[in-house]
Amino acid sequence: MVAILSVKDISISFGSLHVLDKVSFDVGEDEILGIIGPNGAGKTVMMGILSGVFKSNGGSIHFLGQDITNMSIVDRVRLGLARTFQIPRSFEDMTTYENVMVGGIYGDKLSEREAGFQAMEILEGIGLTDRINDLAGTLGLLERKRLEIGIALASRPKLLMLDEVAGGLTESEIAVVIDIVKGIKAQGSSIIWIEHVLQTMVDGTDRVMCLAEGKSVITGLPYEVMQSKIVNDVYLGVDDDE
């Protein structure tokens, strides 16, 4: 596997609370790496470190052959990193088209004309062309999740980080999101996908890593990880005699 992202021994503490403890992993080219773990395992904080929101207390992060450990958020975006958020952060008083355009103009320095053409392509890819002139604040949950992905795609990332984009959706809606994510991979992007909805990890990823108590406890093929005793113990809460 050719790694597009290499994370080595990242750690972070907030006061006496140790959130991550020497976590290491790689993400390959055109790979979807799923990340699971119980609440408080450090999943979203780890994404914050990768995107530059938080600074790790130790370790290193290399992306596309560059050391980005101390790189700013903006420079990481311009290099090819993008992320979504658990709670969609679209501009509610702007249309879906305008939201994606803003991502292209400020995230990738595109001209307004270039950003407009790109926005149309992205909206088609995420299935929102029928809502192009609708304000983001009028969208339902699935459409808001789609738009959140679209805004992140506007900076043309080499690595897209998804933070629980399937949360709160129905089974059929989750299938739509899985198809969108697979389509993004097919276009040549790598993906880190944090999720509690296990259907997404089994059906939508290439490998899965489980975090527990700030540490990586197992990484492997989705089905193998989901069936492992350690995931039952630390994530699903299943005992041997149940």
**pLDDT tens digits along 63-76:** 999 999 999 999 99
Cα 22 from Cα 107, distance rounded (Å): 31
CATH no. for 1-80+158-242? 3.40.50.300
Amino acid at 72: S
Cα 109 from Cα 114, distance rounded (Å): 10
The string of pLDDT tens digits covering residues 37-88 is: 888 888 999 999 999 999 999 999 999 999 999 999 999 999 999 999 888 8
Give the closest residue to 161 by CA, choosing from 56, 50, 9: 50
For residue 83, the cross-strand partners are 161
The greatest distance separating any two alpha carbons of the chain, rounded to the nearest whole angstrom, comes to 62
Residues of the chain with pLDDT under 50: 238-242
Per-residue confidence (pLDDT) for residue 235, from 0 to 100: 58
CB 195 within 8 A of CB 118: no
Residue with tokens 């001209």: 111
CB 219 within 8 A of CB 208: yes
Per-residue confidence (pLDDT) for residue 94, from 0 to 100: 96
Locate CATH 3.40.50.300 in the chain.
1-80+158-242
Plot region of 168 (φ>0 → left; ψ -120 to 50 → alpha; else → beta): left
Per-residue confidence (pLDDT) for residue 240, from 0 to 100: 42
Give the closest residue to 76 by CA, choosing from 159, 4, 3: 159
Cα 200 from Cα 164, distance rounded (Å): 10
Sign of the torsion formed by the C-alpha atoms of 100, 101, 106 and 111: positive
